[in-house]
A and B are shown apart, each in its own frame.
Chain A
């Protein structure tokens, strides 16, 4: 279930981020097509959130086996929830910032640097979740011998 949580919630976050920021991208590119490539940055950041979830899901699925101690499985659930829900939050932030940011950059190009800065701050929310998930995941190996010789 940790594996499921990792990929599902981070996908929801990435989807919301992509969808909401693309609204702004399309609205701004109608009038200013020269800004198109620069305004794709929020959508790319949202896609990176999904990759965080994918990495965590692959790592968690490597721990799954037939006889699994409760310790290891709860650790997996925890790391999956950590990365998934923090990527969900980051996706929400990225979507709203990307939408407003791209619309504003069309009117004032000097805002681009600050938009990217705010996007990076939103992205690290998901990165913190991935770091915690990796850290917790490395502790999961301690539970392998707890299952006994059943």
Chain B
């Protein structure tokens, strides 16, 4: 198994709560994250971890690719445009958006899977950091990450989401 790319795929490349301890020797929050171990951050701890993380993404890519092969380029292009348009409609930062239109476009509104039953985000026991999130969204963080959406250069973590079109 090629493990070189795994590390970057495994962690959300921008994990907002870790930015507060940005120094390499900064306090590692043992209570919330468990013991630190380099191996844990490079290799997935469960064979399904990576595939589940990217599942929706891969499904979309596969569907668009099939659609392109059957119906030509315009079909997935138009759908992707609709997806992008619908993803823009979000609530204020840190609030959970229902993403109803996105679910409808994907067909997820008519099916029930484990993502609807287990770990419902609205019932999550932990809370993120609202201030960090708002700063990140507005591009005010010290690391100078650009704003989300509406620019030509996509930030590193968005490369996977945005590359679906370029891979067609």
Chains A and B form a bound pair: no
